[in-house]
Amino acid sequence: MSNRPRLVIGGTGSGVGKTTLTLGLMAALKRRGLKVQGFKCGPDYIDPTYHTAVTGRPSRNLDTWMVTPDVMREVFWRGSEEADISIIEGVMGFYDGKDPKTNQGSTAEISMLLEAPALLLVNIASMARSAAAIVKGFATLTEGVQIAGVVANQGGSAGHITLAKTAIEQECGIPLLGGFVRQEGIEIPERHLGLVPAIERGELTPLFEKLADLVEDALDVDAILEIACSAPDLAPAPNVIFGKGAGSARVTKIAVARDAAFNFYYQENLELLEEKGAELLFFSPLAGEKVPADADGLYIGGGFPEEFAAELSGHEDVRADLKERIEAGLPTLAECGGYMYLCKSITDRAGAAFDMTGLVPGDVKMQSRLAALGYREVTALADNFLFAKGEQARGHEFHYSTLAEDGELPAAYFIKGLRGEKAEGYCTGQLVAGYTHLYFPSNPALAERFVEGAKRYGQTRR
């Protein structure tokens, strides 16, 4: 058994302020000298980027639809190692997940599986006693949920927050540990354009400090810390996906595109590749860097290449080299933004078109509205370096672009989501590309096969 202080930040719905509270609390706790580990419920990439910037430790995703509860526990166990406290930011409303009939994939389920007490963030605008009814409903909907404290948001004044506190504590027996009065200037900035470079330049550090001050002033941080430390000891999680590979033995090198245009990677994906024997070589297409010459595999993740389309297009030598390397048989996985980069062109929202790599015979056009969002289960349509035909994995899709194909493309896989099934992506023997962000822990064989494919390719060209 091990003591792993932990706390879930849940909300009554999306947009209630979970990220603001999470970042402020992380910054306040780090200011106290604690090693803080961030987690995000669900398949989100943006919030973990903020977590990592605040804590200095890679944030990780916890999900109970893409993987089994045991694998989710393993991800938490590994991520929380040597941390003084883990802060787990919820997704959507506390009980929202894959299915309106169950808790699967919800913040509530993850809280229960990890025996982690939860703070419930409630928007109390235009109510007082009614806030108690909301809290009581959340606290009693599912047996086993431990809502250990409440935080109010959008209070009209300190007196308004006191009214809500009186009602909640009397009717629910749950402490209200403070609240935020409505104010300007604490919004999290637009969550995509320039996020990574802004963090790297330190431009968001003043915001994090401001959020820490806000939390310290408005909330009882000592009581919140006590709640996190009250979580019961955890038994070590079983090694379901890690501890079964090459370990420290490095058998091949896989290049990973990572910069402001390509930065959506699940931390466990990268670590599973290392676990199976890959040395990861990070490079920046945006900065004009070519795929490292000694790489025997390539991973181009998602991101926002459309926001940097002019710069990416301008590096003609990088695009030509990338096309040549992949056509020569370099095992390559390209997801979402990476997939877009491999197409003939990207047309931005202003209507300007920019040449891309030209490997995938199709043109990408940005839309003003979401083109796809949701969990995906993929089934491979053919054998390739990553999948065996018929093999499945799970992941997530989120993008604003559409792809106009030049004829029918050789699809990578069949995807199943809420709106049915369809063929998706592009595949040759050594290239797997598509809009779906694959989560390797859902099928660790993908990482092993990726590494082995890169190793074989390296042997053939030397």
Which are the catalytic amino acids? 336
Sign of the alpha-carbon dihedral angle for 108, 110, 113, 116 = negative
What is the rounded CA–CA span in Å between residue 214 and residue 27? 10
What is the rounded CA–CA span in Å between residue 365 and residue 357? 15
Burial (CB count within 10 angstroms: exposed 0-12, middle 13-18, buried 19+), residue 243:
exposed
Residue appearing with tokens 């302020």: 17
Distances (CA, A) of 44 to 14, 50, 251, 305, 398: 13, 11, 31, 18, 9
Distances (CA, A) of 15 to 76, 204, 266, 280, 288: 25, 20, 23, 36, 38
Helix 445-460 vs helix 267-275: angle between axes, to the nearest 10 degrees?
60
Write the single-letter amino acid at 63. Answer: D
Write the single-letter amino acid at 53. Answer: A
Query: Are residues 5 and 84 in contact, defined by beta-carbon separation less than 8 angstroms?
Result: yes
What is the rounded CA–CA span in Å between residue 168 and residue 134? 9
Cα-based angle 131, 135, 140 (whole degrees, multiple of 5): 150
Beta bridge partners of 360: 343
Ordered DSSP codes for 14-49: TTSSHHHHHHHHHHHHHHTT--EEEEEESS-SHHHH
Quote the DSSP letter at residue 308.
G
Q: Which residues fall within 8 angstroms of residue 450, CB to CB, at 6 or more apart?
A: 254, 273, 276, 278, 297, 299, 331, 333, 385, 386
Reduced to 3 DSSP states, what percent helix, strand and coil does the chain have, rounded to the nearest 5?
35, 25, 40
Using DSSP's 3-state secondary structure scheme, residue 59 falls into: coil
